[in-house]
Amino acid sequence: MSKSRKHKNAFKLAHQVLSITEINFKKHYLQGWTELTVEPQTSSGRLLKVSLNCKQCRILKVSVNGVRVESYSYIDPTLSICPQESEKRNLEYFNACHFEAVASCDVEWSLGNCELIIKIPKEIYDNMPDALKMRIDFSLDRPSGGVHFVDAADSKYLHMYTYGWGNTSRLWFPCVDSYQEVCTWNIDITAPSAMTAVSCGELCEQLLTSDGHRKVFMYTVTVPIAAPNVALAVGCFEIYPDPVMPEMTYFCLPQLLPVLKNLGTFMQEIFGFYEEFLSSRFPYSNYKMVFVDETYQDIASYSTLGIFSTNLLHSSRIIDQVYTTRPLMALAVAQQYFGCFLLQYSWYDWWLPRGLAGYVAGLCMSKMFGSTWYQHWIRQEVERVSEYESAHSLPPLYGYPGGITIEEPEMDEPIEFTGKPIIHTHLMTSTELEILATKAHLIVRMIQDRVGQELFLQAIGKLLSLGNAASGDSKDYSKWKSVLISTAGLIKALSSVSSKDITTFVEQWICSNGVPRFSASYNYVRKKNLVELTLKQEVPRGTNKFVGAMTITVQEFDGSFSHSIIVDDFYTVHDLPCHSKLKKSRKRKMIVSTGEEVEIDVSGTESDIPVLWLRVDPDHAWIRQVTVEQPDTTWCMMLKYERDPNAQIMAIDSLGNVPSPSVHSALMDVLACTNFYYAVRVQAANVLTMVCSAAGVSGSLTGIANPMIQLFQRLYGTRVAPNILKYNDFSDVGAYYLLKSLPLCIASIRSPDGTCPQEILRFMMDLFKYNSNELNKFSDCYFVSSLIDALAAMVTEKATSPETTTQGGYALLNDNVIIKYVLEQVTEHLNLEQVLPSYHSVISISCLKALRVLQKCGHLPVDPALFKDYCFPGFFVDLRLTAIECLAEIIKEQQCEENLMFLLDLAASDLNLLVRLCVYKSLAKYPPFTRKFESKLNTVDLVDKLWNRMISGLSDDPCLRNSLAELYSTLYGRLTPPCISQVGIVIDLKEKTARTSLASPVNTPQ
């Protein structure tokens, strides 16, 4: 697309009033008005028109300075992305049209034209005042996006709230829907007298209407904020002011207050950490947390307000949810600093506030959960981004043409719009945005590593102080731009506090996409007493090589030594000097990374070599994938003596590729040792499953499951009868997670013919029989759920022989006995869940998955009706999502059009937003067909259904629209579906060329 000419904003938004005068929960109706105070910024001081963002609202009346406006246009280009032409059904054409429609109404890209264009009356234009007050009365009738009404049989559970996907406030009131345009606000909400209305800012007054049936809540926002960060929630909330922090208030639905109070102490710690770490007070005078039902996202941050899913709440008896809820709470508060207070300068800077918020939230959790948890979490985040980018193409974090310059464009000039890929919440799927946000916080961490944490915090503190100074003066509009942070501004702040040049880093990691994959091997050169390291780099096609400094850690007898090497090519060789002297001895003393001296047995290695093992980028300072070639004896030694849990997990993963008795012994030692981090022991159990099964096939082990069963009984069984479990005591979190993992790992072991050994069934029967939670202060629902998962892992494909046989010294049990027991337990627990449901229905979810495994293995007939029943409202949302995923898998297997239409209809009509999204994601995960394979489901009717819904049925929900586009891509690729006339391909290619420039609207002189 061609560049649009730069154009100054015609006006400055000084203040906005938003008043919601009526909310009807029965009719899903909302009515109100908004008044915008705008100041002309043209050279003549006059305005001919004002462009605002507005979607799906019905405009009732428009007036400017009290004069009614009859001349205005209201057009939403996203209502129908593409013309209704059957021969143009490919994704390339859709993406081009979608890109153009979104850009044409985005303040940063368009030439002042948005959905709602109001022409200034002639009498006001001729005598233009310094400020215009534009009032717009509007209503919403059953909105399909932006506002969600939660229905309930009991009126006290009725509630509504607004939600967004980026800048989508236009879905429920007219505004300048841009992060660049900030102003002060007054927000008034009229709600039923029994309800509470919560919105941004500080609650100044509550008034009861004259009829006594309604109440008006008046909020004032004195800190300039952007329209996308405005939200509201109305319902019969129970209110809980924080007893320690009076500026903090919690809101939840009835009967949830006891579990809500469980968050209090932790939130106080979060606020204390941020204010101390950032050396800056919380940017607002108050903060409100509202917990609602049926949310798209677990957390949604707005200025002074956070809207959270009630599913995050948990009692003190639940362990597993803690490690989900607390990081999200820490992130939500961090987003108040970065994302609500400090805003992105442009869409090219989308990554910056997300990255800063994720970075400080991670450090907060490091303090709460410990540095070991943080290191393990960083490793998981790096692997998640690396794996995704290796398989999918993502845009660079900063995609502005020409890269980054210190001098950024003027605030009153829109960003030049080009065809280069850009991060925009209206154009990307939720998964892509999650991965990019994860990559953003890892990039921020990499920047901190390069300049130092102290200097980095000085630069961040400078941005915060400028923002605080701007927000303190609510009358000086010129200072308001200081709350906008940009990539160029961050680099400038870093250069002012540090002399280090990060230009190459920025161009490579921020302005480019992709991640590198390194393969390392080394050998010891005796004559020179050094290690010769060979490093090979692979990058995605179209990506430049990654260069920079990388740390290599070499463990020698005299200690752990770090070397900094420069990676500057795809193939590099580096000489790393050794520091230890050569000594031939069976037993040697070694100094580990912690400084501890230990005695090791080197009889199984080359004892005259001082190098024990080598690690590439041990601190995950790069976002990368790394494989290191080392002997299995080296990995065993690294596992035993290295103290870094990430190194231990890497050693475990590598040992899984070389199953042997020595590897089995090393992994068993890890399981038995309580000094290892629990995640290391869990991973050892997972890999041990593969080692045991492989060793059983080769005949190198007898009684392959017995060692793990005996270890489990030694750890968790009683002394008198090891097969009887002790009373549950989950006070040791590490032991609890290992207890959950071991049964599943043991149940996954297979005998030489691929069946489940008999001793595993007896082991599982004892677990169910003797599990007792009477004396435990924690719930065992997740443990029982893991036991059912273990039952499902025992199931193998239908056996051909009904008899119990002996083969290779193993007792093989009749499959029917296993299946009968599994089915009995699943049925019993599923029925019990109807009477006494577990937290988040985790046991029911495991039961459904187990039934699906039984079906796939041929032990039960495939019955879609079983899962259909759980897709309907009335069940916990996670259970519904599991049923939908199982049904999508069945559709792929059976090619049933009726079931496919059932899911697509569910995605169109269900009231739960997450359920609708899950349908598209599940079908994309288990596609019923792809372009390469023939299928009776691949029909013109299905193409029409998906295409029409994609281009015109989801205009008010960009998340659903992009998820449906992803499904369309999975099914048909990026070209025209084969079932459509082949003539369309030629037309598509021509159309693609013809639509490569953004249509520039006609400009009216001002």
End-to-end alpha carbon distance in the chain: 27
Which contiguous run of DSSP H or E holds residue 579?
none
Contact 532, 539 (CB under 8 A): no
CA distance 961 to 97: 13
* Cβ atoms within 10 Å of 111's Cβ, excluding its own: 18
Q: Which residues of the chain have pLDDT under 70?
A: 1-8, 84-86, 110-112, 401-421, 473-474, 582-587, 602-608, 695-704, 799-815, 981-1006
Q: Report pLDDT for 907.
A: 95
Q: What are phi and psi of 417, to 5 degrees?
A: -95, 125
What tokens were used for 852? 């699906």
Which residues have CB under 8 Å from 790's CB, separation 6+?
Answer: 743, 744, 746, 747, 764, 767
Q: What are phi and psi of 741, to 5 degrees?
A: -80, -35
Q: Report pLDDT for 808.
A: 38
* DSSP 3-state of 136: strand
Q: Where are the beta strands (DSSP E) in 568-608?
A: 571-577, 587-591, 597-601
Which residues have CB under 8 Å from 644's CB, separation 6+?
Answer: 375, 593, 618
CA distance 518 to 515: 10
Where b means 16+ CB within 10 Å and e means fewer, 191-203 reads bbeebbbbbbbbb
* DSSP 3-state of 139: strand
Q: Report pLDDT for 799.
A: 58
Pairing of strands 248-252, 202-208: unpaired
Comparing CA positions, the residue from 468, 448, 467 lying closest to residue 458 is 448
CA distance 647 to 630: 13
807-812 contacts: CB < 8 A, separation 24 or more? Answer: 807/751, 807/752, 807/753, 808/699, 808/751, 808/752, 809/702, 810/696, 810/704, 810/751, 810/752, 810/757, 811/757, 811/758, 811/759, 812/751, 812/753, 812/755, 812/757, 812/758
pLDDT tens per residue across span 670-724: 999 999 999 999 999 999 998 888 765 444 455 567 889 999 999 999 999 999 9
The sign of the torsion formed by the CA atoms of 575, 578, 579, 582 equals negative
* Cβ atoms within 10 Å of 949's Cβ, excluding its own: 17
Q: Report pLDDT for 212.
A: 86
CA distance 206 to 106: 36
Chain CA centroid to CA 17, Å: 34
Q: Which residues pair with 307 in a beta bridge?
A: 290, 300
pLDDT tens per residue across span 259-291: 999 888 899 999 999 999 999 999 999 999 999
- Could you give the maximum distance between any two Cα atoms of the chain, in Å? 100
Chain CA centroid to CA 929, Å: 27
Q: Return the axis-axis angle of helices 371-391 and 430-451, rounded to nearest 10°.
A: 120
Which contiguous run of DSSP H or E holds residue 98?
helix 91-104
* DSSP 3-state of 169: helix
* DSSP 3-state of 856: helix
pLDDT tens per residue across span 796-844: 987 554 444 443 343 334 457 889 999 999 999 999 999 999 999 999 9
DSSP result, 683-733: HHHHHHHHHHHHHHHHTS-SSTTHHHHHHHHHHHB-SS-TTSBPPP---SH
Q: Return the axis-axis angle of helices 897-909 and 913-925, rounded to nearest 10°.
A: 150
Amino acid at 32: G
Which residues have CB under 8 Å from 373's CB, separation 6+?
Answer: 365, 366
Rounded to 5°, the CA angle 743-746-747 comes to 85
Which residues have CB under 8 Å from 465's CB, separation 6+?
Answer: 280
Q: Report pLDDT for 823.
A: 93
Pairing of strands 238-241, 182-192: unpaired
Which residues have CB under 8 Å from 625's CB, separation 6+?
Answer: 383, 386, 387, 390, 515, 516, 517, 518
Contact 290, 306 (CB under 8 A): yes
* DSSP 3-state of 506: helix
918 burial level (CB within 10 Å; 0-12, 13-18, 19+): buried
Contact 336, 284 (CB under 8 A): yes
CA distance 80 to 349: 29
Comparing CA positions, the residue from 97, 789, 36 lying closest to residue 427 is 97
Q: What are phi and psi of 128, to 5 degrees?
A: -70, 120
Q: What are phi and psi of 873, to 5 degrees?
A: -60, 155
Amino acid at 715: L
Contact 857, 796 (CB under 8 A): yes
CA distance 157 to 906: 24
Chain CA centroid to CA 111, Å: 34
